[in-house]
Amino acid sequence: MVVREIMTSPAITVTPETEIREVARLMHTHQISGVPVVDAAGALLGVITEIDLIARNAPLREPRYIAVLSAMIPVSIEEYREYKEQLRQVLATRASELMRDEVETVTPETEIYEVLERMLDPEITMLPVLEGDTLVGVVTRTDLVRLIEALESAPDQEGSGQ
């Protein structure tokens, strides 16, 4: 079985200019966990997930600093990087400012077992489906659960009639 057989198409998408409140409204209205961000030609630019929206509204965790002469130096460079990322999210007003642009994708011909393996990663709730550079759909955890339900509900072929 391949992605084409279970993907949601067309996908609900937003543009880089879409305001964050509209992104949240779309996700709530359609009960989806994320939206692809696409350009006018339908090329994938990034994704925004519910985790991105939650992180945008979570309290900031400021890094710890030490004072050296008249300078403030972060204790941990990793804490400082996380703080800068939090600031970027908090200040975002449009999709292009909040989206993640490093996105795992699949094609319509990707095997389902590969999607199942990727979805074991808690960070991945949706995989955009690309044909060339064009977004043609998405595969979500809900799509996979729907498939599993259908497989589990199918009559037992082995035990019937024998």
Model confidence band, residue 81 (pLDDT cutoffs 50, 70, 90): confident
CA-based nearest residue to 138, from 49, 8, 6, 5: 8
Print the SS3 string covering 46-97: EEEEHHHHHHHHCCCCCCCEEEECCEEEECCHHHHHHHHHHHHHHHCCEHHH
Q: In this model, does residue 11 exceed pLDDT 60?
A: yes
Per-residue pLDDT at 162: 43
Per-residue pLDDT at 119: 92
Q: What is the DSSP string of 88-136?
A: HHHH--BHHHH-B-----B-TTSBHHHHHHHTTSTT-SEEEEEETTEEE
Stretch 46-59: mean pLDDT: 86
Model confidence band, residue 108 (pLDDT cutoffs 50, 70, 90): very high
Please report, for residues 24, 35, 145, the alpha-carbon distance to residue 31 in angstroms, rounded to integers and kept in the order given.
10, 11, 15
Model confidence band, residue 116 (pLDDT cutoffs 50, 70, 90): very high
Q: Which residues contact 149 (CB under 8 A, 6 or more apart)?
A: none
Model confidence band, residue 161 (pLDDT cutoffs 50, 70, 90): very low
- Of the options 3.10.580.10, 3.40.50.360, 2.40.110.10, 3.40.50.2300, the CATH number for the domain spanning 3-153: 3.10.580.10
Global confidence as pTM: 0.76
Q: So where are the chain's domains?
A: 3-153
Per-residue pLDDT at 123: 85
Selected residue with higher pLDDT from 84 and 136: 136
